[in-house]
Amino acid sequence: MPLIQSTPQGLYCEEGGFHIDPWAPVEHAVITHAHSDHARPGSSAYLCAEEGAGVLRVRLGDTAPITAIPYGQVIQHAGVKVSLHPAGHILGSAQIRVESTATGETWVISGDYKTEPDRTCRGFELVKCHTFITESTFGLPIYRWTPQDEVIAEINEWWRANAAEGRTSVVFAWPLGKAQRVLAGLDPAIGPIGAHGSIWRLNQAYLAAGVPLPHTQRATGDEAKALQGTGLVVAPPSTSATTWLRRLAGPEGVSTAFVSGWMRVRGARRRRNVDRGFVLSDHCDWPALMDTIRATGAQRVGVTHGFAEQVSRWLTEQGLESFVIESRYEGESGETPELAAALEKSTEAPE
């Protein structure tokens, strides 16, 4: 029997008696990170990385039975040794290393990860293993990222141009991780910075964890008026067609942008009905994905979350033993509709 196996509740380690990122309530859950497709409510006990405890509590509630440990600390859980290592995805994201005390066999379950460092979370740490479980959210060769500093510079220039013409800039980004990454790179000299309430609340957990963010006001009521015209507001994609957005309009209206890895696909910006699309992902692109898999030294690779069949087939052709692990959640932070729409008409990157 493999050390980690797929069950109706998600990945399960029988020797250790725990699940990893379970889809349904279980007795013991080890959590890679706080995104809702990895951290579900209702389990009897949760284990996570210390740096991610704050955002996990925001997502699961103050009374959730969470135990947090530092990165790298090894704990004995029944018949296995467990440690958590930085995944570089969002604040507190972790790869789960599981080692059998009986055989010495080692598995690493990566969760979601990226290898490009950013200002808002601990950088990815390579962990050697016998079997590596990898995501494949952007597991096609068309997905290749521009360095993030260049993308953030583009966002600041777009904002600067809007502010000069009296338009409020509104950036749509996923509330946990992407929003804070964008905020951390903004230039406050351009104008005031605001955030939708759902993002503002998560910002407080980031600040409590010591992550530096610029002064950001909650974009509600009178505070929203102060952002009109020269401000930049970060908001969840769900607000794009609401009356809340109209309250932010400056003398020349609002200019909107969407920040996502899916913006690499031709037509994604049009389907999102925004003025600009900025390609910035909290996941690996194709080259980083392949480099990481090779660097782990793993001879067996399980692939999940995204283009699993394509990546698994490619790895098999490269001489590795590979297998697909089914998932209930696909896409960037669960953005299944965007994935489907983006691939419906095009599989090419834009010029």
pLDDT tens-digit series, residues 148-166: 999 999 999 999 999 999 9
Q: Taking Cα atoms as reference points, which of 33, 35, 47 lies closest to residue 93?
A: 33
Q: What is the pTM of this model?
A: 0.91
pLDDT, tens digit, 9 for 90 and up, residues 278-335: 999 999 999 999 999 999 999 999 999 999 999 999 999 999 999 999 877 654 443 4
Residue 336 domain-assigned?
no
Q: How many domains does the chain have?
A: 2
For residue 74, what are the domain limits? 5-143+283-331
Q: Are residues 261 and 307 in the same domain?
A: no
pLDDT, tens digit, 9 for 90 and up, residues 16-48: 999 999 999 999 999 999 999 999 999 999 999
Residue 271 clears pLDDT 90, i.e. is over it? no
Residue 298 domain-assigned?
yes
Q: Taking Cα atoms as reference points, which of 132, 242, 252 lies closest to residue 197?
A: 242
Task: Report the CATH number that the domain containing residue 132 is assigned in CATH.
Answer: 3.60.15.10
CB neighbours (10 Å) of residue 337? Answer: 10
Q: Are residues 288 and 266 in the same domain?
A: no
Cβ neighbors of 204 (< 8 A, separation 6 or more) are none
Q: Are residues 158 and 136 in the same domain?
A: no
Q: Are residues 316 and 252 in the same domain?
A: no
209 vs 244, more confident? 209
How wide is the angle at C-alpha 105 spanned by C-alphas 101 and 110, nearest 5°? Answer: 110
Q: Sign of the C-alpha dihedral, residues 229, 237, 49, 283?
A: negative
> Distance between CA atoms of 350 and 338, rounded to whole angstroms?
16
Residue 62 clears pLDDT 60, i.e. is over it? yes
CA dist 91 → 55, 251, 322 (Å)? 8, 37, 29
